[in-house]
Homo-oligomer: A and B are copies of this chain.
Amino acid sequence: MVRAQQTDGELWLDAGRQARTGIAEAVYAPGKTPAQCAAAVSGLLADTDGPVLLTRADPAQAAVALERNPGGTTADRTLTWRPLLRRSGSALILTAGTSDLPAAREARAVLAAYGHDADVVADVGVAGLHRVLAQRERLGTADVVLVVAGMEGALVSVVAGLTRAPVIAVPTSTGYGAGLEGVTALLAMMASCSPGVTVVGIDNGFGAACAAVRILRTMP
């Protein structure tokens, strides 16, 4: 990610990242002033070609960044400038509960910036199994599936047994106590009994979307 200009040290804009990896640097807002967020976005718009993202922005950060960099759009806490054109390949994002929605929406916004549609279906936790079973048809045709879940993260094991698509699991820090702020879900997803599940970091909707972009761009 690119950060705001610093007066010491040498800021190193990784301008070639999109060319190398297909995914441009993004600006992670927490810990930056609104002005720093805006400046980082400006820098990326000037020096790179690809989509520019500002993630986890609070309202003040978003307002200044949008004002100084016209043309951006906002989805929840993710701001996007210069999105790629719509391409084939789309993602299905399932969440166990509604409190997993922030990570799901971050993933959807990042996918959109890279030209991929994503449907979010919330609240299909395995305690009421009919909800995920009702997604079987969609799971059969999805290009890639993201499963966002906290607590024990069981949804990913069920989903991976119902689809041929690549499955990316996002553990979330929702819940309290024995969920250990996402560590329980992380470990459980890692140890999933369903073969072929892959996992990204806790609450890392951004990373899951990047992984999905890497997969979707290979689609015909």
Contact = CB atoms under 8 A, between A and B. Distances in A.
A129 B17 CA distance: 10
A98 B3 contact: yes
Contact of A173 (B1, B177, B202): B177
Contact of A162 (B20, B124, B192): B20
A179 B191 CA distance: 5
Interface in A1-38: 1, 3-4, 6, 8-12, 14, 16-17, 20-23, 26, 31
Interface residues of A, number: 97
A182 B177 contact: yes
Interface in A143-172: 143, 151-154, 157-158, 160-168
A178 interface: yes
A157 B180 CA distance: 18
A106 to B, nearest CB: 12
6 contacts: A20-B161, A126-B161, A129-B133, A151-B192, A180-B183, A196-B213
